Amino acid sequence: MKTVIVTGASRGIGLETAKLFAEKGYRVYALSRSGQCETKESIIPLRCDVTDENEVKSVFGRIYEESGRIDVLVNNAGFGISGAVEFTDEKQAKKQFEVNFFGCFLCCKSVAEYMRKNGGGRIINISSLAAELSIPFQAFYSASKAAVNSLTLALANELRPFRISVCALMPGDVKTGFTDAREKQEEDGGVYADVIKKSVATMEKDERNGMSAVRIAEAVVSLAERKRVKPLSTKGAQYKAIAVLSKLLPMSAVNRIVGMLYS
């Protein structure tokens, strides 16, 4: 039985991904800060704070001892903040990177040794289309996901000799609890108040009308089971089209269009 680790698996994309892997016959370790997950026979919920290196090392070591192998790692843990760069609290900005980027880094770092022992494996990082199209008033979320993409590309080359493949999936709008969990930075003395409210309302409307978490889970499992994967990919025809257009058009034009949509 192949073993997969899914972080941020207590709800949303992580939960649906864990469930689908279990249905496919994988032994699934569902990691989250709460240690809670919808239980199935082949889903094992474990508490793990991905920002704590010692805890990540301990949990990954335990999983390897119990299962004897780690075949797939899905780095899904993450959250979002919104607000103007000028008025974003430094601690919140750092927290955004601690979870979204450094959590991903620590899990990749910890799993590499075990995948080498297996003779290979696959790491799938959940990024975002916002990594390619930086969204106003979500600068730090976009930046953290862009950093995940850069980590993915570098790591893919570093681990290729060990038959460990690394890729990132960049979803567009997805309907999950992520929207309501977004931490909003709005104390700016009213300088940006109206435009922030409009921008965030637009984002939240798009998310609530977005793809289901199940569709993203299906894409993740598909990436896990393919022989070869692209380092960066997205899900959904409209989001693929947006990604292509963002490469073809001048960056100034792309950025201006994004600004018009979210300002």
Q: pLDDT for 37-73, tens place per residue?
A: 766 678 999 999 999 999 999 999 999 999 999 999 9
Would you call 32 a catalytic residue per the annotation?
no
* pLDDT of res. 180: 72
Given the residues 10, 82, 110, 199, the one annotated as active site? 10
189-194: long-range contacts, CB 8 A cutoff, minimum separation 24: 191/84, 191/86, 191/87, 192/84, 192/86, 192/87, 192/137
Given the residues 32, 42, 127, 199, the one annotated as active site? 127
Exposed/middle/buried for residue 52 (C-beta within 10 Å: 0-12, 13-18, 19+): middle
Residue 229: is its pLDDT beyond 60?
Answer: yes
Residue 256 CB neighbour total at 10 angstroms: 12
* pLDDT of res. 96: 96
Which of 13, 27, 98 is closest to 64 using CA atoms? 27
As a whole number of angstroms, the distance between CA 105 and CA 123 comes to: 11
Would you call 141 a catalytic residue per the annotation?
yes
Given the residues 26, 145, 192, 262, the one annotated as active site? 145
Residue 184: is its pLDDT beyond 80?
Answer: no
Given the residues 29, 64, 141, 262, the one annotated as active site? 141
Residue 189: is its pLDDT beyond 80?
Answer: no
As a whole number of angstroms, the distance between CA 171 and CA 207 comes to: 11
SS3 content of the chain, % helix, strand, coil (to 5): 55, 15, 30
Beta-bridge mates of residue 232 = 168
For residue 90, how far is the Cα from the chain centroid? 22
Residue 99: is its pLDDT beyond 90?
Answer: yes
The pLDDT tens digits of the residues spanning 124-149 come to: 999 999 999 898 999 999 999 999 99
CA dihedral 216, 105, 51, 123 (to 10 degrees): 40
Would you call 127 a catalytic residue per the annotation?
yes
Residues 6 or more apart in contact with residue 252 via CB below 8 angstroms: none
Residue 164: is its pLDDT beyond 90?
Answer: yes
Structure tokens at 174: 């997805």
